[in-house]
Amino acid sequence: MEGDESKTIGNTSVSVGNPWIFFGVAFAITLGFWVLTILLGLSADTPVGILLLFLGLTGPGIAGIAFVYFVYDDPGQKDFWDRITNVRRIPAHWFLVILLLPLIVIPSAAIIEIALGGTSASLADWVTGADNLLLAILPTLFMATLVPLLEETGWRGYALDRLQFRHSALIASLILGVVWSLWHFPMFFVEGWHHHENIGFLTLEFWMFHIGIVWLSVVFTWVYNNTRRSIIGAIVLHAVINFTAQTFTLTGRAEVFHITLWFVVIVLITLIWGGENLQKRQQDATSTRCEARRRYLMNCHCW
């Protein structure tokens, strides 16, 4: 079952549930605020600049929630909020994966760098310059969690399901990863923002950042599909990755090792769990997608 196709955009045959419509709306909201920030020459260090940057971050989340209500009836909407709030969807061993995997990958990159004669990763300025480490952790942890909350309600909360209904889990992940990567692009032109100050435009770290997002998208889908489509699981994974990245500063070469290790992780995931579903228990690809449609779209307005 593919749902009711009657709800379309205007007089066209384009369904409201098309994930590319969601991407367009999410980008429009984000770019509206971020391009304005750039055109006004505002820095992330100014109150107005911070406000506009924050409003831009809400793009995927606002679009995701809106499309859930446009596309799905009550059961789908209730399922959406359950996936955000119900931590019991996540088995205990998957909590360990979510919490520990990022904490293993970055130190491993630093170890490889040291073994090859380079310098190790250093702690970020917010750690080394803190008079009270506990008080310094709180704002960093808050921002590391807030951004994923605003993003994942759209990327994994809405778009990933829509892509997986038509593509394998691996292909859906790569598509979403490229879109997710491009969404970050304006950040590199805002003075005072991490991407502008610490990564830079067209640097080695710039390319590693974008490639890394695409690789990480596969990891997110792997966790998502094995935790009963938990959005809170994706939020926590995103938060741990952000917090770890904000705590350790890698050299350029170590960053290459870092992204390479994530690539190794997704290769292993694909080989062990299978690219069709990225789940341990494999089923026939067609029956799996039909079952997903049956469970989640039985009360859907449109496909």
The terminus-to-terminus CA distance of the chain in angstroms comes to 10
Are the beta carbons of 148 and 232 closer than 8 angstroms? no
Q: What is the DSSP string of 195-225?
A: IIIII-SSSHHHHHHHHHHHHHHHHHHHHHH
Residues 6+ apart with CB under 8 A from 174: 214, 217, 218
Give the pLDDT score at 85: 94
Mind listing the pLDDT tens digit of every residue in the chain (303 residues)?
A: 233 445 655 555 557 788 999 999 999 999 999 999 999 998 888 999 999 999 999 999 999 999 999 899 999 999 999 999 999 999 999 999 999 999 899 888 888 888 888 776 666 665 556 666 666 677 777 777 889 999 999 999 999 999 999 999 999 999 999 999 999 999 999 988 888 887 888 888 899 899 999 999 999 999 999 999 999 999 999 999 988 887 777 777 888 888 999 999 999 999 999 999 998 765 444 444 444 444 444 434 333
Question: Which among 270, 267, 286, 289 is positioned nearest to 278, based on CA atoms?
Answer: 270
* Residue 276: CB atoms within 10 Å: 20
Length of the chain: 303
Give the pLDDT score at 205: 85
d(CA 131, CA 90): 37
